[in-house]
Structure formats: structure tokens, C-alpha cells
């Protein structure tokens, strides 16, 4: 027999946005259900040192932080479901989602917090050295490279912005791009080329991230010239892959409006164009992509959903009284 779970607030995703929404929803008495998805805890579960989340004097570990956030959500009444959603029906309330095992989830409101994933190069050493010198977020990890040599891989706005940000910490920043011109906006390019701490390496592709030392960490990148095919090696302490992010929104294609795959919400709120459907965190944020901003947006989504339900309940009571 197919299992069905119903709730006043259904939350899809269990990163900082989803769990913050769950905490606020549970405290409002909405008994939220969180469907955790492919990566319970979100991107922080593959992050080691976290030094920029408020409330912790010392560095904390990403997986530990998410475990504590989940425990807090469960403590106040949220229910966690380990499932992957494969089908969504937003044509009527309650909204209906189906897991890959056939389980049905029904929600009077839906809060989408499915997040986004950094795009990676897929070359040797990248996964192994993740968190050991290879990163996809300069704002998150740049602080750990104070006074050290770093490289940024990419040629768009994100790569240029990451390189400029890293000059706050590093005196030696190299932007590695596989072509002979950048795709970034001209104003960003002008700032990049004028900065004395940034050097651009043209027509080079990263073939391998090289580890070494004890404990093992990144010591350099092997490069291939995209024009001549010549191989070279560049020593570096940190490498930041900045070739874009992919929001996890495939489920909602054709159902909700998007911009480059990111869900669109009404300015200053978490409301989508479907009443009762809200979005929060990296799935709707192409600018900041921080755990603390995702958590804040999760709070917003829960408060927006609570207000929506209160208004719907009032309208239903008024109709019943007529």
C-alpha cells in the first residue's frame, strides 16, 4: 500500500534554508515535513572548516553544523523524510509530490529549498582535494589563504569577482582562462586588469590538481595550453573553480518561472507566482550563495507560508459562517 504523508508545510531540501524553514514552521505549530533529497544537509556537508556562520567563536565543521541544525528542527517538531522527489503537481492545493519509491507527500504549502551545486571541472585530483586546497567559493574559504598564492579558474563574472575578492587576502592571485578573452562584464574586466595583485594566464586549461605534503593538500595545478598543447605546472596553495552554479530546479521546469535555472520570487519575499509555493536559499539566489543568507531566506519562507495559511484559514472560516 502506498504511504501518504500530509502536512500544512512541506519543505523540499535540508540545507540551511530548508532546516531554518523547518525550525520556524515547527515553532508556529505547522508540523512541517522535510523531504531531504539527494544530499541531506546540503552543500555544507561536504565543507570542512566553517568560520563565517554567526554564533561560533571557533571554526566549526560543516557536517557538524548541519547535524545540529537538523537536531534543532526535530527537537521543535519537524519531521525528516529520507526520500528523493521525482514528480510534482502544483495545479491545486494541497500540493502533491511523489518520492522515487512511490511515497506521496501532500502539503497545504510548499517551501522549495533544493539549493544549487557548483559546477566542477571533473579533472583528476579535484574531488580528492576538495576542502584541502580546492574550493568553489572564495567568500567562504578565501580567509584561509591569507598571504598565500591562489588561482581562480574561469572567465565569467563569477571568476572575475572571485579573483577580485581574493585580493583582500592574497598578494598573488592568478586567473586561469582557457580562452584569450573573458566573458565577464567590461566594468569587471577593467577592475581586474587594473589590479596589481592579479595576473591573467590565457589559453590554459587545468588538467590535474596536484596534492602533496603532510597532511596532504593542494600544492599546484598541471596545465595544458589550449592552443599549442604544451604542458606546464603552476605551484599554488589554493585553487578556486569559478565556472558557475547549477540550481536544482529540474523538477520545476515549466511549472515555475526561472532565470538561468534559478527560481524567481517576488522581490523582498519568498513567494513564487503560485499561491502557497515559496522558494528560499541558493535555489533562488545567484548572488550571495552563503549559508547565513540561505538560513535567513528559509526563515522568510516559513513566515510567508505561515501568513498565507492564516489568511487562507480566515477566508475559509468566513465562507463557512455565511
> Would you list the domain boundaries of the chain?
4-117+245-321, 121-242
- The more confident residue out of 90 and 44 is 90
Banded model confidence at residue 135, pLDDT cuts 50, 70, 90? very high
Residue percentage of the chain with pLDDT more than 70: 99
Output the pLDDT for position 97.
Answer: 97
**Grid cell in block for residue 90:** 502544483
- The more confident residue out of 168 and 38 is 168
Does position 81 have pLDDT exceeding 70, yes or no? yes
What residues are annotated to the active site? 137, 140-141
Report if pTM > 0.85.
no
Average model confidence (pLDDT) across the chain:
94
Question: Which of 56-60, 247-251, 277-281 shows the highest mean pLDDT?
Answer: 277-281
Banded model confidence at residue 244, pLDDT cuts 50, 70, 90? confident
Cα angle for residues 62, 262, 37 (degrees, 5° grid):
45
How far is it, in rounded angstroms, from Cα 134 to Cα 94? 43
Lowest mean pLDDT among 13-17, 155-159, 170-174, 238-242: 155-159
Output the pLDDT for position 250.
Answer: 93
Output the pLDDT for position 319.
Answer: 78
How far is it, in rounded angstroms, from Cα 4 to Cα 2? 7
Banded model confidence at residue 79, pLDDT cuts 50, 70, 90? very high
Please name the CATH architecture into which domain 121-242 falls: 3-Layer(bba) Sandwich (3.50)
Output the pLDDT for position 52.
Answer: 85
Banded model confidence at residue 51, pLDDT cuts 50, 70, 90? confident
Does position 1 have pLDDT exceeding 80, yes or no? no
Contact 157, 242 (CB under 8 A): no
**Grid cell in block for residue 188:** 569587471
Does position 308 have pLDDT exceeding 70, yes or no? yes
**Grid cell in block for residue 154:** 574561469
Residue range 239-255: average pLDDT?
93
Contact residues for 113 (Cβ-Cβ < 8 A; gap 6+): 11, 12, 13, 14, 15, 17, 18, 21, 279, 280, 281, 283, 294, 298, 301
Banded model confidence at residue 117, pLDDT cuts 50, 70, 90? confident
Q: From start to end of 182-313, where are the E strands?
A: 198-201, 204-212, 217-225, 231-235, 238-241, 245-247, 258-259, 262-263, 277-279
Output the pLDDT for position 118.
Answer: 84
Residue range 230-236: average pLDDT?
98
Output the pLDDT for position 47.
Answer: 67
Does position 289 have pLDDT exceeding 90, yes or no? no
Banded model confidence at residue 245, pLDDT cuts 50, 70, 90? confident
Please name the CATH architecture into which domain 4-117+245-321 falls: 3-Layer(bba) Sandwich (3.50)
Banded model confidence at residue 50, pLDDT cuts 50, 70, 90? confident
Domains 4-117+245-321 and 121-242 share a fold: yes
Residue range 211-233: average pLDDT?
96
Does position 46 have pLDDT exceeding 70, yes or no? no
Contact 210, 233 (CB under 8 A): yes
H-helix or E-strand spanning residue 94: none
Amino acid at each position: 500500500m502506498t504511504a501518504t504523508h500530509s502536512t500544512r508545510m512541506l519543505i523540499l531540501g535540508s540545507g540551511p534554508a530548508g532546516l531554518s524553514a523547518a525550525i520556524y514552521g515547527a515553532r508556529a505549530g505547522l508540523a512541517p515535513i522535510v523531504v531531504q533529497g539527494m544530499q541531506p544537509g546540503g552543500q555544507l556537508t561536504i565543507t570542512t572548516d566553517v568560520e563565517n556562520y554567526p554564533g561560533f567563536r571557533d571554526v566549526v565543521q560543516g557536517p557538524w553544523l548541519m547535524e545540529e541544525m537538523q537536531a534543532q528542527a526535530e527537537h521543535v517538531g519537524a519531521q525528516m523524510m529520507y526520500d528523493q522527489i521525482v514528480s510534482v503537481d502544483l495545479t491545486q492545493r494541497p500540493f502533491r509530490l511523489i518520492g522515487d519509491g512511490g511515497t506521496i507527500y501532500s502539503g497545504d504549502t510548499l517551501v522549495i529549498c533544493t539549493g544549487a551545486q557548483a559546477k566542477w571541472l571533473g579533472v583528476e585530483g579535484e574531488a580528492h582535494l576538495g576542502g584541502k586546497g580546492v574550493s568553489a567559493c572564495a567568500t567562504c574559504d578565501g580567509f584561509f589563504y591569507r598571504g598565500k598564492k591562489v588561482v581562480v579558474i574561469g572567465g565569467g563574472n563569477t571568476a572575475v569577482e572571485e579573483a577580485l575578492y581574493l585580493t583582500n587576502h592574497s598578494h598573488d592571485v592568478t586567473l586561469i582562462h582557457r580562452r584569450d578573452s573573458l566573458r565577464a562584464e567590461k566594468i569587471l574586466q577593467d577592475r581586474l586588469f587594473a589590479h596589481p595583485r592579479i595576473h591573467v594566464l590565457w589559453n590554459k586549461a587545468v588538467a590535474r590538481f596536484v596534492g602533496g605534503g603532510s597532511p596532504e593538500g593542494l600544492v599546484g595545478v598541471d596545465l595544458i595550453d589550449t592552443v599549442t598543447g604544451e604542458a606546464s605546472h603552476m605551484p599554488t596553495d589554493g585553487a578556486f573553480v569559478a565556472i558557475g552554479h547549477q540550481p536544482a530546479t529540474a523538477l520545476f521546469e515549466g511549472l515555475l518561472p526561472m532565470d538561468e535555472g534559478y527560481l524567481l520570487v517576488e522581490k523582498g519575499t519568498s513567494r513564487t507566482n503560485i499561491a502557497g509555493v515559496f522558494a528560499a536559499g541558493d535555489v533562488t539566489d545567484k548572488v550571495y550563495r552563503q549559508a547565513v543568507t540561505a538560513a535567513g531566506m528559509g526563515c522568510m519562507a516559513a513566515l510567508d507560508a505561515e501568513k498565507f495559511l492564516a489568511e487562507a484559514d480566515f477566508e475559509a472560516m468566513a465562507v463557512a459562517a455565511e
